[in-house]
Amino acid sequence: MIIPSADRLQQVQEYYFSRKLAEVRALNAQGKNIINLGIGDPDMAPSEETVIALTMAASRPKAHGYQPYNSILPLRQAISTWYQQTYQVDVNPETEVLPLMGSKEGIFHVAMAFLNPGDKVLVPNPGYPAYAATARLVGAEPVFYTLSEENNWQPNFTELQALLTQGGVKLMWVNYPHMPTGAEGSAETLQKLVELALAHSFLLANDNPYSLVLPNNPPLSLLSLPKAKDCCLEFNSLSKSHNMAGWRVGMVLGRQDYLQNILRVKSNLDSGMFQPVQQAAIQALQNSDEWHNERNQVYAQRRQTVFELLEMLGCSFNRQAVGMFVWARVPDQVLDVEAYLDNILYHAGVFLTPGKVFGTQGERYLRVSLCLPQTTIEEATNRIKQHVTATAALPI
């Protein structure tokens, strides 16, 4: 007897990286020693003080019980202080801050809390696949809006107006600094989006985990803009900015009634964040500017080597893009980018991410992570160079 899956699973596929990394593990099991430049998994450690705070808290006998669903007040206070110091945004730690066990779970919670079957969700193309997947899982309809290199990966407001005129939009996702392209947003662009949200009565959510990684400008929060709290939520995370991806510490900030709706979902799905992790997050949020600068200096050096790798492959890219990835356009003579990258994977032993994972607007692009040591990135470059030289052509 076979029990059929829920109908909703017909609308989503297993996450690309879940499938592809299983393939990479299988190759490694065969002794291939694949260099993984595909994912944004920070390889540098959190600050020493953060790790000490975790171990000290974990050694306390009373640290191991269930925790409040909205986390302990000192963590919410630390997030509030961090937002004021980093983004010049005042949020009330009692009512406008909700810690999450990773912002990815919060994306699903928002879908559960605000979307009904048939509601429309504006999703960037290219963009993080979870925005569309969570919409589909709750029966909503993802409606993709176009981001293009010609427009510096910014929203096309003429297109947005046309999509909104059709009606039914309940939620819009934005993500600046943008993943996967590394484009920065501006206060002017975000303010126009706030005005659209107010005019058309939809919730605007900004996913903002990359603002401290190789920034060109001071970090920007959507919530710093006039009237933003009336219609906006902002997600953030310690995964990228504090080298704490596996710790699963995120946050959503916004109006009290919006967060209460999210908490109604969240409180039915988990039993609170491990208290020592919360204590460590409080410490991490006090990391100095010097600590962040040292991390970014390492990423900047790695990025230069990735630039060399991409130049060797004849790719074009924006040297001013931010974040922990480099997004690059593949040469026109490459007809199938995914096959091109599989060729590199199987013959040079280097995994690079095809841009099509992030939407149709990414089909001519690839993405390279900066989350490996400099020497490993250099080895990846040498492997690909040897492969290209051996085949006397681009690996098409």
Average pLDDT, integer, range 136-161: 96
Average pLDDT, integer, range 194-209: 96
* pLDDT, tens digit (0-9, with 9 covering 90-100), for 268-326: 998 899 999 999 999 999 999 999 999 999 999 999 999 999 999 999 999 999 999 99
14 has a pLDDT exceeding 80: no
Banded model confidence at residue 243, pLDDT cuts 50, 70, 90: very high
Q: What is the pTM of this model?
A: 0.91
CB-based burial label for 233 (10 Å; 0-12, 13-18, 19+): buried
- Other beta carbons within 10 angstroms of residue 30's beta carbon come to 9
394 has a pLDDT exceeding 60: no
Which ranges in the chain are annotated with CATH 3.40.640.10? 48-284
Average pLDDT, integer, range 6-28: 77
17 has a pLDDT exceeding 90: no
pLDDT computed for residue 392 by the predictor: 61
Amino acid identity of residue 178, one-letter, is H
Which ranges in the chain are annotated with CATH 3.90.1150.10? 7-46+289-391
Residues 169 and 120: beta-carbon distance below 8 Å: yes
Amino acid identity of residue 155, one-letter, is P
3-state helix/strand/coil string of the chain? CCCCCCHHHHHCCCCHHHHHHHHHHHHHHCCCCCEECCCCCCCCCCCHHHHHHHHHHHCCHHHCCCCCCCCCHHHHHHHHHHHHHHHCCCCCCCCCEEEECCHHHHHHHHHHHHCCCCCEEEEEECCCHHHHHHHHHCCCEEEEEECCHHHCCCCCHHHHHHHHHCCCEEEEEECCCCCCCCCCCCHHHHHHHHHHHHHHCCEEEEECCCCCCCCCCCCCCHHHCCCHHHHEEEEEECCCCCCCHHHCCEEEEECHHHHHHHHHHHCCCCCCCCHHHHHHHHHHCCCCHHHHHHHHHHHHHHHHHHHHHHHHCCCEECCCCCCCEEEEECCCCCCCHHHHHHHHHHHHCEECEEHHHHCHHHCCEEEEECCCCHHHHHHHHHHHHHHHHHHCCCCC
pLDDT computed for residue 16 by the predictor: 74
Average pLDDT, integer, range 171-182: 96
CATH entry 3.90.1150.10 includes domain 7-46+289-391:
yes
* pLDDT, tens digit (0-9, with 9 covering 90-100), for 358-388: 999 999 999 999 999 999 999 999 999 988 8
265 has a pLDDT exceeding 80: yes
Banded model confidence at residue 233, pLDDT cuts 50, 70, 90: very high
Q: With the C-alpha atoms ordered 213, 150, 135, 225, is the resulting torsion angle positive or negative?
A: positive
* pLDDT, mean over the chain: 92
Average pLDDT, integer, range 10-16: 71
pLDDT computed for residue 173 by the predictor: 98
Range of weakest confidence among 38-42, 112-116, 239-243, 289-293 = 38-42
200 has a pLDDT exceeding 90: yes
Topology of the domain covering 48-284:
Aspartate Aminotransferase; domain 2 (3.40.640)
Banded model confidence at residue 135, pLDDT cuts 50, 70, 90: very high
195 has a pLDDT exceeding 80: yes
Banded model confidence at residue 176, pLDDT cuts 50, 70, 90: very high
pLDDT computed for residue 9 by the predictor: 75
Banded model confidence at residue 8, pLDDT cuts 50, 70, 90: confident
CB-based burial label for 156 (10 Å; 0-12, 13-18, 19+): middle
Q: With the C-alpha atoms ordered 194, 184, 114, 10, is the resulting torsion angle positive or negative?
A: positive
* pLDDT, tens digit (0-9, with 9 covering 90-100), for 316-354: 999 999 999 999 999 999 889 989 998 999 889 999 999
